[in-house]
Amino acid sequence: MSKAAKPPPTIYRTVAIENGRYGVEVTPPGAGTTTVHGFMTQADADAWVNSQRKSAPDRTERAKSVLDQGTRDD
């Protein structure tokens, strides 16, 4: 019996956006890219990415839940 292939990982990319703030582009496998907004610093955005990677046993499902929630405004 062969193992099922693992899906490719969700891609996270920190980006500078308007007003000196930062966002994170989230691209789950097989889905479009969305941007999570509202981070005051690049370090805040990077910390959020790291928390997503650590806390989600299935990053694909976690990223889809972010997409379902829309953008984040702090």
pTM of the prediction?
0.67
Each residue's pLDDT, cut to its tens digit, for the chain (74 residues) gives 567 777 788 899 999 998 899 999 999 888 999 999 999 999 999 999 999 888 765 555 555 565 566 554 44
Q: Give me the helix-helix angle, 42-55 and 59-69, nearest 10°.
A: 130
Q: What is the residue extent of each domain of the chain?
A: 11-69
Q: What is the DSSP string of 49-73?
A: HHHHHHH-SSHHHHHHHHHHH----
